Amino acid sequence: MNRKLFPLCIVVITVFFLASLGNSSESDAVKVDESEYKLCSNCHEDLIKAWEAKQYQHAPTAAGDCTICHSPHASNEKFFLHKKTNELCIGCHKEQSSGKHVIASYVFGSSHPVDGKINPLKTGDNFSCISCHSPHAGNTKELFAFDAPGGTMGICQTCHKK
């Protein structure tokens, strides 16, 4: 995770773009029609392969819409996200913003925090949608960010050890 290197992405993308405008078929430049997914995977191949190896992929990631969430320009957020993580997610998943969905299948309480806390699994990180879900891929339909035995209850117990 080296923020300083991120501008390299932008430089290279710009170069590819300009090269595509110049458009000589014998050039070594990447082809004009190369998708964003492929473009990013030129350098993030290992990461993308690891996501593809998971059983479920998040629809926008699988579609290669990386820039829905990541800015190709500068950003004040970590990982060059357009907005704070939860705002990003809620933009498409409004119903889950209350946190009610987390414990919908359980009898305790009516809602679960989805922000304003510290992530017990990554101290120093704010609690957010991605404390539980991966924005890219996972081994469960709910795209849980980590694997745990015992289904959803095992997910709960990863943070709530008795």
Shortest Cβ distance from residue 100 to ligand HEC (Å)? 9
Beta carbon of residue 33, minimum distance to ligand HEC (angstroms, whole number): 15
Cβ nearer to ligand HEC, comparing 20 with 67? 67
Closest distance between ligand HEC and the C-beta of residue 149, in Å?
A: 14
The strand pairing partners of 158, in sequence order, are none
Q: Which is nearer to ligand HEC, 23 or 98 (CB)?
A: 98
Sign of the CA dihedral 150, 59, 93, 128? positive
CB atoms inside a 10 Å sphere around CB 35: 12
Which residues fall within 8 angstroms of residue 116, CB to CB, at 6 or more apart? 126, 127
